[in-house]
Amino acid sequence: MKISAFTFIRNGTIYGFPFVESIRSVLSIVDEFVVNVGYGDDDTLERVHSIGDPKIRIIESRWNDKMQSGGYVYGQQKMIAQFNTSGDWAFYLEGDEVVHEDELQKIVDACRRHLNDDRVEALTFDYHHFYGNAQSVLDSPGWYRREARIIKNSVKSCAPDGLFWHVLADRGRVTRYPRAAHTGAHIYHYGWVRSEEEMNRKSENVQKYWSNSHKRIDYGEIDQQIIRPFTGAHPEVIREWLAKEQGLFQANPDHVLTKREKKHRLMLKLERALGLELSKKHFIAVK
């Protein structure tokens, strides 16, 4: 069995991504790691080279900055990397996602267990969405709680954006989400613990790929009720990168809930009362 990992990254240093830590977090369990580095304005390419692991294979690409199509440029760059992998499984990590060393064997075991199971096309992970600081995580149906991050390379797949896959079914005439089993492992998502300056710098430059205008991000403008304390341990590879803030992140006490936040607050109440799980899923669960 061969496991390939892949990612795409552009201006990762300018935007504050822990992409080096992300890559390093899974190197021990993969046979190759394809990194698609977009031509940019910082030292991202040099930093990927500096990791110095022979498993890493670098591709350089130029992004289509004129395409405004709901994030499809991200999908293009994701698939450029994936199409260059050669493993039985293709493990996708975004530049702000890290895997815990204690769960690496769970991932390998899941890949081996489902390799010859034709029902299973992909593998999913539970998510820790850190917000504001490394001691706070989000718990809301508005933030996906589980996502597919590994897919079989034998499956005809495509990516409408950087987040998820579609599988080409019925001889390619229709698409659907992949059928997926759970790894039992987590993805540690650190995008929202970067500084507000870094987050806004990124937003100013990438919202054009979604045909959206940039709206300044203020971490304090969020529903305090969805912020929970994180009681676990962070992956060793990311600990030096993390700031030393302590305690639960405090939102603006005068924050006015948006219509979307009111909807998600109601959904959260329904989940707790009825034992439901209402977050968006980009996969079809296989038990």
- Hey, what domains does the chain have and what are their CATH numbers? 1-287 (3.90.550)
Tokens of 90: 């293709």
> Could you give the 3-state DSSP secondary structure of residue 96?
coil
- Look at strands 32-38 and 122-131 and give their pairing: unpaired
DSSP secondary structure letters along 259-284 = HHHHHHHHHHHHHHHHT---S--SSE
- Residue 256 falls in which region: left (phi positive, over 0), alpha (psi -120 to 50) or beta: beta
Q: What is the pLDDT along the chain (287 residues), one digit of tens a residue?
A: 999 999 999 999 999 999 999 999 999 999 999 999 999 999 999 999 999 999 999 999 999 887 766 688 999 999 999 999 999 999 999 999 999 999 999 999 999 999 999 999 999 999 999 999 999 999 999 999 999 999 999 999 999 988 999 999 877 778 999 999 999 999 999 999 999 999 999 888 888 777 677 889 999 999 999 999 999 999 999 999 998 877 999 999 999 999 999 999 999 999 999 999 999 999 999 98
Tell me the C-alpha distance between 242 and 250, whole Å: 18
- The Cα–Cα gap between 60 and 97 comes to 21
Give the pLDDT of residue 68. Answer: 67
At residue 104, φ and ψ (nearest 5 deg) are -60, -40
pLDDT of residue 2: 98
What pTM was computed for the model? Answer: 0.96
Distance between CA atoms of residues 133 and 121, nearest Å = 35
C-alpha pair distances (Å), 187 with each of 129, 190, 262, 267: 9, 9, 27, 23
Task: Write out the H or E segment, with its range, that includes residue 78.
Answer: helix 72-82
Which backbone phi and psi does 171 adopt, to 5 degrees? 60, 30
What is the DSSP pairing of strand 89-92 with strand 3-9?
parallel
Burial class (CB in 10 A: 0-12, 13-18, 19+), 271: middle
